[in-house]
Structure 1
């Protein structure tokens, strides 16, 4: 069985390899054998490979933080799944391989209309978006939120969940070409991430209250989100895709605005019980066309280094785990 194996933490362009691993055993009681279809290369995958992520698997071994596949066999006691069901794999389960056995109680069958490539991206971004909206800011229907990286997987998911919950969105993007994409996804206001855009927020929202800012970039972009927040608002950070891990600004205006700052990490135990509901909601968004995460390219396992280079440059990259290429 082929897998993408990590030899040691470090540079993904030297420490990953395509390996032949033993076939997984037949599924035991309450287990399922999954034939993997697709898995993304996420920002947090690259962090894990480099050894700078909270999760540190035993090495050498396969890696991969999310993905989707079809049930090939089930063990005794499994009554909610059948062979052929498409499922989302548990978080951090080392998905970059052809087949794997997992606990069946962490799986549920997706609607048949959900595309395998979209299914592969369901486990991290959509639940993150939903929790960012529900756990911070005390939002009510009609409230405004502001986010950067609005055309990312999390950003588009935030827009989908916000619309479903009656929130209105101000969306910052870093490229002019991304404006139309976020508008098509339902973003209420879509702007370039700039100081001039911050100055226009009050007029565009008709002085509406911006209760929550969602930050996936950090650095100067974080400062602009803070400037766009209303008095008593909250800002929550979930990623540092801009490459900076610090913000440099005068904090005194924030004290006067009574802004609260938070950090988000989806794997915290208190969120686990919400996952099945959030994943089902996200799968339904995909089924009816309310959520579609863009895919920049798809690579076979044999081209893992090309795939990693592409992911580092930017854009969502998927691994085709069944391709013979």
Structure 2
């Protein structure tokens, strides 16, 4: 089979495209014929040795994939060959086939195509877990989404609206904010047009926001937290801006607020039934038209390195997908 390979840590241009042996599933794994694979921020880190997992060389990046089950391990009972599925691979998704842990694989709705499915599991799974289990977002509360035009950001906008929140979307350009508006955002903030804190103060009549969803990190992290409401919750989702920010410890005290970490991959493994319930709700909202995964650009498998570079340069709006077949 063909696969994109990382043979040594480095930038996307060091990846190769080669013929490799087909994988064999272990007892608790599923062998997937990959049709499409999502590109995510961890892909930019794992190839440079900056992610929390460091697979042995050579490995294929690609943390999520959608396709058709070819074979199941002897301990897998909830899936069978021929099933249309999506799920987490950890790595290995940028290949024609991948053996992936069965606990992270879910059948996809009949009306969902493979490209949409490849754009769904990580972004919507992360945002649902963040807003439901970690923030306990309630109808009528105010949700601020930073980096609102990216994959997880747009998912958070849509899920926040489906949960009954007022959603404020923040991004760096008018074009990105237009995308967030189309996803259902009630109010928009352009980072480049004045102080984030002052804009939030105006929009909330000085009350602040109840929940902050931050997949970006960087310079707006502390400024956003200073705009949080009493009993507010700030979700630490990721660091797409590059640097990992710090926060003066007195701020959570003075605000009576919480700084809450979000690690959906570990949650899905530790609490599979809760994760399954999340996806049942997500699929229901998808069927009702409340969730509409935005795939802004697709790349063929042999150009997966370009897809990773495109995302790493923060050029992407919505989700970038590698189309394998």
Question: Would you say same fold, with TM above 0.5?
Answer: yes
Shift of the alpha carbon at 1:129? 0.7
User: Using the alignment, how far apart are the partners of 1:135 and 1:75 within structure 2?
Assistant: 31
Q: Is 2:105 the counterpart of 1:107?
A: yes
User: Using the alignment, how far apart are the partners of 1:154 and 1:307 within structure 2?
Assistant: 17
Shift of the alpha carbon at 1:263? 2.8
> Tell me, what secondary structure is at the counterpart of 2:47?
helix
**Is the CA contact (8 Å cut-off) linking 1:147 and 1:214 kept in structure 2?**
yes
Report 1:1-325 matches (<5 A). Answer: 1-14=1-14, 16-25=15-24, 32-74=30-72, 80-104=78-102, 106-193=104-191, 195-206=194-205, 210-247=209-246, 255-269=253-267, 270-313=270-313, 314-315=315-316, 316-322=319-325
User: Using the alignment, how far apart are the partners of 2:230 and 2:27 within structure 1?
Assistant: 54
Shift of the alpha carbon at 1:193? 2.4
String of CA shifts for 1:247-303, please: whole Å, max 9, x gaps: 5x7765654323332332223354444222223333343344322333232222222
Q: Kindly tell me: are residues 255 and 149 of structure 1, through their superposed partners in 2, closer, same or farther at Cα, counting changes over 3 Å? A: same
User: Using the alignment, how far apart are the partners of 1:74 and 1:251 within structure 2?
Assistant: 49
**Is the CA contact (8 Å cut-off) linking 1:114 and 1:283 kept in structure 2?**
no
Which runs of 5 or more structure 2 residues have no equivalent in the other structure? none
> Tell me, what secondary structure is at the counterpart of 1:298?
strand
What's the TM-score, normalizing by structure 1?
0.86
Q: Which has the larger radius of gyration?
A: 1
String of CA shifts for 1:32-89, please: whole Å, max 9, x gaps: 4321011122111110111011111121122211111112345667664454432112
**Is the CA contact (8 Å cut-off) linking 1:41 and 1:308 kept in structure 2?**
yes
String of CA shifts for 1:172-211, please: whole Å, max 9, x gaps: 1111112222112111212112544532434434555622
> Tell me, what secondary structure is at the counterpart of 1:211?
strand
Bigger mean CA deviation after superposition, 266-275 or 178-187: 266-275
> Tell me, what secondary structure is at the counterpart of 1:289?
coil
String of CA shifts for 1:156-183, please: whole Å, max 9, x gaps: 1112222222222221111111222211
What's the TM-score, normalizing by structure 2?
0.86
User: Using the alignment, how far apart are the partners of 2:29 and 2:216 within structure 1?
Assistant: 39
